[in-house]
Structure 1
Amino acid sequence: MNSGIGMDALSERDVRRNALVLSCAQALGGANPAIVISLGGLVGQALATDKALATLPVSLYNLGLALGTIPAAMLMRRLGRRAAYIVGALVGAVAGCLAAYSITGSLFALFCLATAIAGVYGSCVQSYRFGATDGATPEFRARAISWVMVGGLAGSVIGPQTVIWTRDAIAGVPFAGSFFSQAVLALLAIPVLLMMRGAVRPAAERGGGRPLREIVLTQRFVVAVAAGIVSFGMMSFVMTAAPIAMVACGHTVGEAALGIQWHVLAMFAPSFFTGRLIARYGKEVVTIVGLLLMGVSGAVALSGLGVAHFWGSLVFLGVGWNFGFIGATALVTDCYRPEERTRVQAVNDFLVFGSVALASFSSGRLLNAAGWETINWLLYPAIAIALLPLLWQMRATPRPAQG
């Protein structure tokens, strides 16, 4: 395996510095989806002539997130992570300004384009978790990923608070100010990203590596991607339907919003210790526990329709996502050599976030057609698809020494 130079020649101190820098950048970039997802449907409802298209901006954000992974990886391979991440932040600023302009002009199609572009920025932000592992020892990779996900916790607070503080900042044009603020947050990420250490040109990635087809067909990669798809895709599938189902069951919009807040907290708060759990018990074990917790989420949801059932289900879903997604990401880092990383990471993220986009498009329709119970029953076959290969792989993986 090529140890490379540039990003891979970082000292342990620089690796830790980069992980902290990317955690801070994640806090700013993580506000991007929080703003789009919380406001996209409301703005869509106000601008769309066909109210059935109200949630299209949010779905297009997820589509942009999936489609943006490939060009983002190409840019990283050519320019290095730091330059690519800065370009991504500039794209995020353009998206925020375009969204604000479309609101002031009541231009629904332009607003949809803006949210799709915001998704492209989101694909760069999602890559931060991989960027934090560049040059890291295998033992530190999971912890570095967790540090970046802690930044996501901050972003999940910064985004909604930005909406609250700025939604009426422009008189007579609700929410335009929030999207201008989205642009400002993206620009604020640039000086943070400039603090990343490492060569601008990723020399470690100029050696070619194995054919991509050979890598993605390995058992280890398939298992890792399946776990990531199920963890993120099914979480999005259930989360999207949950507030609609709560209101349909007679609960208030406020109760539904609070349930989502608890869910988001449960998604990111465990990141403070998930990396340590992986170091102690192994990637497969933590990922399996995450998938099982998602199964518990479905069981709680199926046990009743009270507020406590919905909230409890969403909390288990959030913690399960955290363990499953961080564990799956750590598994992916074992599948490539330094010169192969951006290509393999891009394929992984394209498949994972493509599943999120599909879940976003299908969840509401399936809820209307089949109901909340069906949404939760569908968790179990999906979990089984990821769980069984993981159990098989774990039998062949040496357990890390405890201590």
Structure 2
Amino acid sequence: MPVSVWGLAIAQALLTTGNILLVAVSALIGKQLASHPALITVPVAMQFLGLIVATLPAAHLMHKLGRKVGFILGNSIGLLGTWVALQGLEASSLMHFAVGTFLIGMAIGTGQQYRFAALDVCNVEQRPRAISMVMAGGILAAILGPNLAIWSRQWFDGNPFVGAFYGLFMIYVLALLLISSLRLATAVKTIPGEVSRSYYELFQQPLLVATIASGAIGYAIMVLLMTATPIAMQQDGFPFSNIAWVIQWHVLGMYVPSFFTGHLIRRFSSRSVILWGCAVLALCVLVNVLGNSYWHYLLSLMLLGVGWNFTYIGATHLLTFTYRPAEQGKVQGINEFMVFTAAAVGSLLAGMGVDILGWFWLNIASLPPLIFVAWWIFSLADERARERVKG
């Protein structure tokens, strides 16, 4: 496996560590700075907006100028966003802080291309394993992220959240130095006579539509139930320590399977792995509706992480069979845009869903789109030979 893949896995670990750190503190900072309860989640919403805004331009930029240029720019924006957020904290300005989280969201959106960059430096046989290795970086983040959020509270007197953003600043500096040292793909060279298809023509491919739907719906359901679980657990009277433990095991469930997901794709095909992911997500829902004990929440969130891992990595690999070299930036960009837009919608619907539908019916409501994706992927099984990778 190329050294660059290992470097990208570490970069992914740094990115995810920063994400978890932000999840731990952004809402609390919003509560501290907001003049009205409705404004508490503005920094989180701005982070998602920044992520969504960056996906298409980042993919096209890397297609034209190469991966390294794109990632250096993304991490530089992250450094700027961290500095702006710190100024917002110092000034006790919610809007100033939210501008910072918007810029950090753009950096996160650019970093989501790490897994695609790993594909560029591998041969076809190594691609499933390369995706898995990069995603496995999240295991380190599952340990570092929550602990960094706790340790950083002691770094500065006066405001317990300032240290978190100095920690985030260091993360982006390390990522910038790491990316600068890696050999990554340069701009994609246009093959004479090769024409890039329009979005309309690309979306005439059932495989592309089904692949994007798999990644988007799998991610949306994961974010929906992950975000709703702490609310449901709090309503059931569980202490914060129980909630934090459940979330940490969920994150491990998201990334630990990455050690063998690539092997499963090579052995059985990415479609099979996506179908297994849908089945595991459905099992998560079943556990949730059967009870609301601590062990129900713990098991369901672990299953939620595993199901997301299978659908996300499977869809990432399957996507590589839907575009020509000249269309790489276009297809990867629209995939990221739609996947993370779906994730943002899932996060926004979580609190409302628990309040209006209740925990039981929120879980039931997540099943129809899941069943639809499973049916769609299964209906394309006759094309399995096209995307199966021989080990």
Does the Cα contact within 8 Å between 1:69 and 1:124 map onto a contact in 2? yes
What TM-score results when the alignment is normalised by the length of structure 2?
Answer: 0.95
**Structure 2: any 5+ residue segments left out of the alignment?**
none
Moved more, 151-160 or 238-247: 151-160
Q: What is the Cα deviation at residue 241 of structure 1?
A: 0.5
Residue 77 of structure 1 aligns to which amino acid in structure 2? H
Paired positions, count: 389
Q: What is the Cα deviation at residue 400 of structure 1?
A: 4.8
| Residues 1:173 and 2:122 are matched in the alignment | no
1:22 aligned partner: 8
Which stretches of structure 1, 4 residues or longer, exceed 6 Å deviation after superposition? none
Query: What are the Cα deviations for residues 267-298 of structure 1, in whole angstroms up to 9, with x where unaligned?
Result: 00110111011100110001100111000000
Moved more, 97-106 or 81-90: 97-106
Q: What is the Cα deviation at residue 161 of structure 1?
A: 2.1
1:341 aligned partner: 328
Does the Cα contact within 8 Å between 2:121 and 2:184 map onto a contact in 1? no
2:145 aligned partner: 159
2:46 aligned partner: 60
Within 5 Å, give how 1:4-403 maps onto structure 2.
16-198=2-184, 200-204=186-190, 208-398=195-385, 400=388
Does the Cα contact within 8 Å between 2:188 and 2:325 map onto a contact in 1? no
Cα distance change on mapping 1:191 and 1:401 into 2, 3 Å: closer
Residue 218 of structure 1 aligns to which amino acid in structure 2? Q
Q: What is the Cα deviation at residue 360 of structure 1?
A: 1.2
Q: What is the Cα deviation at residue 338 of structure 1?
A: 1.6
Query: What are the Cα deviations for residues 129-183 of structure 1, in whole angstroms up to 9, with x where unaligned?
Result: 1111015333221111111101122223222222122123121011111112101
Residue 340 of structure 1 aligns to which amino acid in structure 2? E
Q: Distance in 1 between matches of 2:167 and 2:7?
A: 21
1:5 aligned partner: none
Q: Distance in 1 between matches of 2:145 and 2:30?
A: 19
Query: What are the Cα deviations for residues 303-323 of structure 1, in whole angstroms up to 9, with x where unaligned?
Result: 011111111110110100001
Query: What are the Cα deviations for residues 101-127 of structure 1, in whole angstroms up to 9, with x where unaligned?
Result: 211211111111211211111111111
**Structure 1: any 5+ residue segments left out of the alignment?**
1-12
Q: Distance in 1 between matches of 2:352 and 2:184?
A: 47
Residue 250 of structure 1 aligns to which amino acid in structure 2? G
What TM-score results when the alignment is normalised by the length of structure 1?
Answer: 0.92
Q: What is the Cα deviation at residue 194 of structure 1?
A: 1.7
Q: Distance in 2 between matches of 1:232 and 1:139?
A: 26
Residue 217 of structure 1 aligns to which amino acid in structure 2? Q
Residue 339 of structure 1 aligns to which amino acid in structure 2? A
Residue 300 of structure 1 aligns to which amino acid in structure 2? V
Does the Cα contact within 8 Å between 2:62 and 2:187 map onto a contact in 1? no
Q: CA RMSD in A?
A: 1.8
Query: What are the Cα deviations for residues 193-243 of structure 1, in whole angstroms up to 9, with x where unaligned?
Result: 123224644325896522232113311100100100111111001100000
Does the Cα contact within 8 Å between 1:96 and 1:183 map onto a contact in 2? yes
Q: Distance in 2 between matches of 1:147 and 1:58?
A: 28
Q: Distance in 2 between matches of 1:273 and 1:397?
A: 20
Moved more, 359-368 or 259-268: 359-368
Cα distance change on mapping 1:198 and 1:102 into 2, 3 Å: closer
Give secondary structure in 2 for the equivalent of 1:30.
helix
Give secondary structure in 1 for the equivalent of 2:154.
coil
Does the Cα contact within 8 Å between 2:287 and 2:299 map onto a contact in 1? yes
Q: Distance in 1 between matches of 2:219 and 2:69?
A: 28
Q: Distance in 2 between matches of 1:338 and 1:52?
A: 45
Cα distance change on mapping 1:401 and 1:361 into 2, 3 Å: closer
1:7 aligned partner: none
Q: What is the Cα deviation at residue 191 of structure 1?
A: 1.7
